[in-house]
Structure 1
Amino acid sequence: MSLSARLARSGLRLAAPAALFLFAGAVPALADLRMCNTTGSRVGVAIGYRDAQGWVTEGWWNIAPRACETLLRGTLAARFYYVHAVDYDKGGEWTGKSIMCTRNKEFTIRGIEDCLSRGYDRSGFFEVDTGEQKGWTIQLTDTPGAAPPRP
């Protein structure tokens, strides 16, 4: 089922105000980028990062409540990663000030410029600083007090 169909089914609107929060931490033993969903809702996750060829955004990973997924395997190639996530069950989203390209179905998009003219959506992503660790786990949570900056 496409993201847009899942969003319609759950009643989520991508423009809904965010009511969800973030906590991030280093992973001592693994060399992967992982996402843990500590909420009671199903979430969809897109990420952005800069690799040797430039900017790339990828999505969607669907993560069950209280579950973790590996988004990128191996030693992290960048210090900064960017995340946009939507709550399929309760509505809302995790967003940020960094604008990158997305689409409603599974995607890998090269470049972050001219999203609309290239047929993509523009979405806000929040920044995750991994501190140049080899691996990192991002925890999506709905606990107040750990919110990423929002415009």
Structure 2
Amino acid sequence: MLAASAAQAEFRVCNGTQNLVGAAVGYRAEEGWITEGWWQVPAGTCATLIEGELQSRYYYLYAEDAARGGRWTGDINMCVAENEFKIVGVKDCFARGYQQMGFKEYDTGRQGSWMVQLSDTSGTQESQN
């Protein structure tokens, strides 16, 4: 007999657009602020940016449409790099050789899972599982 599996705890991004989207996530960890990227999220698919039970209340997301240049942004400045990255700290991005982008804050309310739906028309939607 197979038992029903529990919903997996994670922070996911789903791409409801017609184009490839690159996504980066920011969060607070023991060693300080962390930003990580890039996850390539093809049209109509989802990607898990953080696996396991979410440890923080707030997570931050920045995403770009690879084909059209559209962006999903916010007003929390964090560091990103051109290629795959994991950066500790959000200050002095340019001086450290990184770019600075505005990330959108998501208040997960300490839920174990969170999903952000990116779309062409309405921006983003968020939900917990």
TM-score range (shorter-chain normalised) is: 0.7 to 0.9
- Kindly indicate whether residue 62 of structure 2 is the aligned counterpart of residue 106 of structure 1: no
User: Given the superposition, is the C-alpha separation of residues 90 and 61 from structure 1 closer, same or farther in structure 2, using an over 3 Å criterion?
Assistant: same
- Kindly indicate whether residue 122 of structure 2 is the aligned counterpart of residue 144 of structure 1: yes
Aligned to 1:92: 70
Greater percentage in strand: 2
Residue by residue over 1:45-67, the C-alpha shift from the partner in whole angstroms, topping out at 9 and shown as x without a partner, is 01100011110000000000010
SS in 2 for 1:96: coil
Aligned to 2:13: 35
Greater percentage in helix: 1
Structure 2 alignment gaps of length 5 or more: 1-5
User: Given the superposition, is the C-alpha separation of residues 140 and 117 from structure 1 closer, same or farther in structure 2, using an over 3 Å criterion?
Assistant: same
Q: What amino acid is aligned across from residue 62 of structure 1 in structure 2?
A: Q
Q: What amino acid is aligned across from residue 100 of structure 1 in structure 2?
A: M
C-alpha displacement at 1:145, in angstroms? 7.0
How many residues end up aligned between the 2 structures?
A: 120
In structure 1, C-alpha distance between the alignment counterparts of 2:124 and 2:111, rounded to whole Å: 21
Percent of aligned positions that are identical: 48
In structure 1, C-alpha distance between the alignment counterparts of 2:24 and 2:68, rounded to whole Å: 18
RMSD: 1.6
